[in-house]
Amino acid sequence: MWNRVVSHLSNLEDVAINYLRRFPCMAEYTYDPISARITLFLLVVGTMAFINELYITIEMTFLQKETYAELNKAPLNVEDLRNHRMVMDDEFHGREWWDEKSGIVIEEFESRERFFAKPVHVAHVYVECNIIDGETGSDLLSRPFQFHIEFSPEEYENEKRPEFGCKLIVLRRKLYHFFKETELYQELVAHNSKKDESVRFTVSSGVKIYNAAKELLPTTIDDIQLCFLKIETGDSIRCDFVV
């Protein structure tokens, strides 16, 4: 029985090597019998590794899609977002602890499934901006203008969970300062000064941000990180500057 198995495998090996020899690029690797066996072994192992990685990638992609589907369906409830299991549950995060016996710091990482289930931090967004008259609610521009906002690690490195990126307040403040540096804002100030009026524009009441689902993001959730607010990297979102 064992001899039959060995003979069958040997025949399969010969067939595979002969097939490889048909390709000009494999000629120098399969000319010698030993080299041919090594080449075949590496090809088989490499193919198995590729299939395994492909399977893991597909599986983890579905896990992440489930997370975003859950977040996109959920209402923007302040307490639910602050106490989201992926923020509060330590199983979703690595940790370090001191081992007294060995005298070294032990680092434990979350499981692969937990790691891929977490939303990815927002690296940059495109923001379509309008200027709104605070008294009449009418648009002051014929068409919106756009900011491209990027976030650097320094802006979220001190967060409790820095892997989730920046909070909403970081985006709100960036938009506030970006707008104040535009010629549009300077023209608005100049126009109002001629009428002996001042521009009433603040971070909290003047910057209205809407997520990718077109939902208004209130200041009550300014301490929530963007990836939990239905915003992903590269999304186009909206902002109204109320003056």
Can you list the domains of the chain with their CATH numbers? Answer: 2-69 (no CATH), 77-116 (no CATH), 120-242 (3.10.20.90)
22-60 residue pLDDT tens: 777 777 777 777 787 777 788 888 888 888 888 777 777
**Dist CA 87 CA 117 (whole Å):** 12
The C-alpha R_g of the chain, in whole angstroms, comes to: 29
pTM confidence score? 0.75
Instruction: Please give the sequence-ordered ranges of beta strands (E in DSSP) within 83-143, or none if there are none.
Output: 95-99, 104-108, 124-132
CA distance between the termini of the chain:
87
Point out the residues of the chain with pLDDT beneath 70: 1-10, 96-97, 99-100, 194-199
Contact at 8 Å (CB) between 201 and 240? no
